Structure 1
Amino acid sequence: MRLLAIILLTLLLLPTTPAAAATNLAVAATPSASYTSPWENVNAINDGVDPPRSNDTANPRWGTWPETGTHWAELTWPTAQTLTSAEVYFFDDGGGVRLPASWKLQRWSGGTYIDIPGTYPTAADTYNRVTFPEISTVRLRVVLQSGAASVGLLEIKAYGESGTPAPWNPPAHLVTPLNEVWQHVESTYPNLYGFRNYGWDQVMANGGSINYCVRWDSNATVTAAQRDRIHATLARQFKKWTDLMIGQEGWPYTDVPVKVVGWAVRDRNQLQWTDDSVDIYVGDIRENAPQCAPACGRFFNQNGTYPNCPGGAARHYDMSLWLTAGMGGGAGGDWGQRLGSEYYLANLDADNMHILLHEIGHSFGLDDFYDWTPSGVCCFLMKAGSASSITEFDAWMFRDWWRHLKSRYGL
C-alpha cells in the first residue's frame, strides 16, 4: 500500500502539458474564389489585416458585384490542417455588396465538399465565429448565398492546434517592394543586426508580453477612469500589430498582453486616484518632461536585469508612452512612442489611432518613407500621411523584420 501511495503521489506531481494555443492557419493557405470583381482581390481574404468595419475602404477586399446567387471563397493548404473553428468578416458597402442571406463552411474530403455543422451568425462590423468538432482537410470553403445584393469577404481566419507554420509567402505584387525595403534597411542601418532593443527583443525577453510607463508631459489632471482608458487604448492599438504575426514564420505567441506599470508626473496631485495599481514617479525631469525611474527602464538596462528598480523586475517597463501637451505629430523608437496628450485623449475610442500605430511600427524597426517610395505601392501607414490604418504592405514589412531577426532567438 505504501508503494502504491508513492506511485499515485508521483503521478499527481508530474507536470502536465498545457494545451496548444489555437493558431490562425489561414495565412498559410492559397486563396481562390468562384468569382472576383475585377477591382477587388481574392488575396484579401487571408492577408492578416483586421478590418476596421464591414465597409472598409482602406484595405483590399473580395467581392462578387454584380454577380449574385451562390458564391464561395476557399483556402487551400499544401498539406492537411487540423481545424476546430473559423471566423469570417463580411464585406458590406451598403450598396452593391451586402451581408449574405446565409452562409456555411465546407471541407474537402478528397472527392467532394462536405458541409461543416455549426451555428452561423451573420453580423456586420465584426468577426462571425463558428466552432465545430475537429476536422482535417486541405481545403476550407466559405459558401455565401446572396440576399439583397452581391456578397463579399474582408478576412477569413481558420484556427487549429496544429499545422504547418506559414511559410514566407507574401503576395506576388509585394515581393519587389519588400525586397527594396529590406535592402534599404540593411544599407542605411549598419548596426541593424547588432542592435538588441527592438520591440521584438522586448517581447521575446518577457516571454510574450510588454510593459509600459506613461510619461504625463502635461499640466492637466488625470482621473482613474482616464488612466484605465489610456491603458486600454494602448493595448488595443499594440495588438493590431502583434496579431499580424499569429502563425507567421515560427512566431510563438497568439497574444501579447500590454501592461502599464507606472506613471511619471511633475505633481502627484495631477493623478486623481489613490490605489496602488501602478507605480508613480514624481519630479524626475529629463528632456524637460517627467521621467519614469531609469533603474526600471529597459532602455537604460538592456541586459534585462533591474537590480535597482524599486519594484523589482516585475515592475520594469520596456517602453514609455510619452504624452506631451500641445504636440503635433509623433515620434517613436525602441524607447517607446511620443504624441500629443490632447490628440490621444480625443481618440480613446478610435478604431485606429494612426499616429500611435505609426510610432509603434518604428519601435519594432519599421522605417520612415519621407524621401522614397517602394515600387508598386503608394499609400501605407509607415509612409506618413498616406494611410490611417495598417495596410497589407505594412503587415508584410512587419513580418519581414521578424523573418530576418528571428534567428537571434533560436527560431
Structure 2
Amino acid sequence: MRRLFAVFALVAGFLLTPVGADATVANVAPSATASASYTSPWESVAAINDGIDPDRSGDTRNRRWGTWPHAGEQWALLTWPSAQTISSVQVYFFDDGGGVRLPASWRLQRWDGDAYVDIPATYAIAADTYNTVTFPAVTTTRLRVVLRSGEASVGLLEIRALADSAGRQSGWSPPAALAAPLDEVWRHVESTGDPYGFRNYGWDQIISNGGSVNYCVRWDSTAPVSAELRDRIHAALARSFKKWMDVMAGHNGWPYAEVPVKVVGWAVRDRALLQWSDDSVDVYVGDMREDAPQCAEPCARLYNQSGAYPDCPGGASHHYDMSLWLTEGMQGGMGGDWGQRVGSEYLVGNLGSDDIHILLHEIGHSFGLNDFYDWTPSGQCCFLMKAGSATSITEFDAWMLRDVWRHLKSRYGY
C-alpha cells in the first residue's frame, strides 16, 4: 500500500446546496463565534455550530449545549466578524428525556445595530430532525435563537444558518505574480510522484464521506487524558483542519464550504490513561503498530479504500480516514494520507494557539502539498509548507492547495 510521507523539521464551511436554477446557499454558522445566556458546566456552547450532524435529539456521542437547571427564556447566539445575508435557519433541538426537553416555543432574532429584533416566521418544534425556518433575507452580524422552556430546561445540538453564496469566487484566477511559481510547484509534484493515480488524498477522503472527515487519535504517551483534554484536542484539530478548508470554500467548484472533523476513536497502551467512561469515542487498547498504539485497521480508510468496512466494529460510521498520532518527546512532525504525527507535549502546550503551525504543515501534506527543503519557487520567500519560514497559512500556501484541486477535481466529477 503506497503511503504519502513527509517530515517537518522543527525550526526558529458548509455544504453548498442547490436552491434554484441560478442560486446556491451555504451554511455560514461554523464561521461564527457561539455564546449563550447560560451553559451547563458539563456541556459546550461550541456544539451548536461545530458542523456535526446529530443522529437524534438524545445524541450522547457528541457534545451539546444545554441549560439545566435553568428554565424560562434562554438563548444561543452566533456572531460573525462581517455581515451575513441569511434567508433560512435550521435548528436541531437537544432532548435527553430528562432535565432537557423540547422548548415550549422558540424564535429567531437578528441584531439591527442597536437591538435584537424578532424575525417573523413559522417556528416548528420537532425532535430528531432539523426544524427549518425560512424568511425574507436579513443581513446581520448576529443571529440569536431564543427558546422558552416548557416542562424542563432547553438545549440545542446544531444550528445551520443558510446564506446566499452567489458571487463566491469560481474558476482559476491566482494573482499574476504567483502563476509562474505555482506552475513550478505543480511540475515538481508531478516529477516526484503520481498525483493523478494516487487515490487517498484528503480530497478523496472528504468526497467519499460526502463532505466530512473522521479521525482516530493514537495516544503514544504515558500522560493521562481527561475528558476535557480529549475535547480540547479534538477542537484544536478541527480548528486547524478548518483553516485549510476555509481556503477552499467557494473556490473553483469545491463543493463544501465547511468540512466537519469528527474524532471517532482513541488508541492507547493502557486504558487507565483515559480518564473518562462515556462512549463518545471508540477506545482501542494494546493494538501496537510501529511500536505505538494503533486504531483498529479494519476501520482505517488506508486499508479499506473501497469505502466498505465490513469488519469495523460499529460499521462504516466508526471508520477513520486519518490518524492524529501524538508521540511523547517527539520534535517536529510527519504527515501524509494516513494522517499527522506531532509531539504530544507540543500539541497539548499549544491547544490555545490560533495557529498550531507544525500540525497545519502536516495537514497540508495530506492534501498532496510537498516539502521545500532543497528548493524554493521563484519569487517566494516564506510560506508554511517551507518548514520554518512561516507559522500560518500564507497566500502562496492557499494557492498551492487550490492548484492541487484544480488538477485533480475532474476525477471527482467537478
Structure 2 counterpart of 1:389, one-letter code: S
Question: How many angstroms does 1:17 deviate by?
Answer: 6.2
User: Which residue in the other structure is 1:90 paired with?
Assistant: none
User: Which residue in the other structure is 2:264 paired with?
Assistant: 261
Alignment counterpart, residue 334 of structure 1, candidates 337, 352, 358 = 337
In structure 1, the residue corresponding to 2:215 is in which secondary structure?
Answer: strand
- The answer to whether the Cα contact below 8 Å between 1:23 and 1:162 also exists between their aligned partners in 2 is no
Aligned-partner Cα distance in 1 for 2:236–2:26: 25
Q: TM (normalized to structure 1)?
A: 0.63
Question: How many angstroms does 1:84 deviate by?
Answer: 3.0
- The answer to whether the Cα contact below 8 Å between 2:185 and 2:377 also exists between their aligned partners in 1 is yes
Matched, 1:397 2:400: yes
Alignment counterpart, residue 172 of structure 1, candidates 159, 173, 176 = 176
Instruction: Label 1:289 to 1:241 Cα distance change in 2 as closer, same or farther (>3 A).
Output: same
Aligned-partner Cα distance in 1 for 2:318–2:270: 21
In structure 1, the residue corresponding to 2:283 is in which secondary structure?
Answer: strand
Q: TM (normalized to structure 2)?
A: 0.63
Instruction: Label 1:134 to 1:176 Cα distance change in 2 as closer, same or farther (>3 A).
Output: farther
1:60-139 to structure 2, matched below 5 A, reads: 84=85, 119=113
User: Which residue in the other structure is 2:189 paired with?
Assistant: 185
In structure 1, the residue corresponding to 2:183 is in which secondary structure?
Answer: helix
Number of aligned residue pairs? 273
Structure 2 counterpart of 1:200, one-letter code: W
- The answer to whether the Cα contact below 8 Å between 2:326 and 2:341 also exists between their aligned partners in 1 is yes
Where structure 2 has 5 or more consecutive residues not aligned to the other structure, the ranges are: 1-17, 29-83, 87-110, 116-135, 140-162
In structure 2, the residue corresponding to 1:366 is in which secondary structure?
Answer: coil
Instruction: Label 1:378 to 1:17 Cα distance change in 2 as closer, same or farther (>3 A).
Output: closer
User: Which residue in the other structure is 1:385 paired with?
Assistant: 388
Aligned-partner Cα distance in 1 for 2:405–2:165: 22
Aligned-partner Cα distance in 2 for 1:278–1:387: 34
In structure 2, the residue corresponding to 1:21 is in which secondary structure?
Answer: strand
Aligned-partner Cα distance in 2 for 1:192–1:120: 53
Higher relative contact order (CA closer than 8 Å, sequence separation 6+)? 2
Question: How many angstroms does 1:21 deviate by?
Answer: 2.5
Where structure 1 has 5 or more consecutive residues not aligned to the other structure, the ranges are: 1-15, 25-82, 86-116, 122-131, 136-158
Aligned-partner Cα distance in 2 for 1:162–1:401: 24
- The answer to whether the Cα contact below 8 Å between 2:241 and 2:360 also exists between their aligned partners in 1 is yes
Q: Deviations for 1:290-316, whole angstroms, at most 9, x for unmatched residues?
A: 000000000111111100001100000
- The answer to whether the Cα contact below 8 Å between 2:217 and 2:323 also exists between their aligned partners in 1 is yes
Aligned-partner Cα distance in 2 for 1:409–1:120: 47
Structure 2 counterpart of 1:161, one-letter code: S
Question: How many angstroms does 1:22 deviate by?
Answer: 3.0
Question: How many angstroms does 1:134 deviate by?
Answer: 7.4
Structure 2 counterpart of 1:179, one-letter code: D
Question: How many angstroms does 1:119 deviate by?
Answer: 3.6
Aligned-partner Cα distance in 2 for 1:367–1:120: 49
Structure having the higher Rg: 1
RMSD: 2.4
Aligned-partner Cα distance in 2 for 1:372–1:385: 14
Question: How many angstroms does 1:173 deviate by?
Answer: 0.9
User: Which residue in the other structure is 1:349 paired with?
Assistant: 352
Instruction: Label 1:210 to 1:119 Cα distance change in 2 as closer, same or farther (>3 A).
Output: same
Instruction: Label 1:198 to 1:118 Cα distance change in 2 as closer, same or farther (>3 A).
Output: same
Aligned-partner Cα distance in 2 for 1:17–1:391: 33
Matched, 1:314 2:317: yes
User: Which residue in the other structure is 2:234 paired with?
Assistant: 231
- The answer to whether the Cα contact below 8 Å between 1:306 and 1:312 also exists between their aligned partners in 2 is yes
Question: How many angstroms does 1:20 deviate by?
Answer: 3.8
Question: How many angstroms does 1:230 deviate by?
Answer: 0.3
- The answer to whether the Cα contact below 8 Å between 1:23 and 1:161 also exists between their aligned partners in 2 is no
Alignment counterpart, residue 196 of structure 1, candidates 199, 202, 227 = 199
Percent identical among aligned pairs is 68
In structure 2, the residue corresponding to 1:381 is in which secondary structure?
Answer: coil
- The answer to whether the Cα contact below 8 Å between 1:263 and 1:280 also exists between their aligned partners in 2 is yes
Please list every run of at least 4 consecutive aligned residues from structure 1 whose deviation after the TM superposition is greater than 3 angstroms: 16-20, 117-121, 132-135
In structure 1, the residue corresponding to 2:384 is in which secondary structure?
Answer: coil
In structure 2, the residue corresponding to 1:244 is in which secondary structure?
Answer: helix
Aligned-partner Cα distance in 1 for 2:383–2:300: 31
Question: How many angstroms does 1:187 deviate by?
Answer: 1.4
- The answer to whether the Cα contact below 8 Å between 1:264 and 1:282 also exists between their aligned partners in 2 is yes
Structure 1 counterpart of 2:212, one-letter code: S
Question: How many angstroms does 1:246 deviate by?
Answer: 1.0
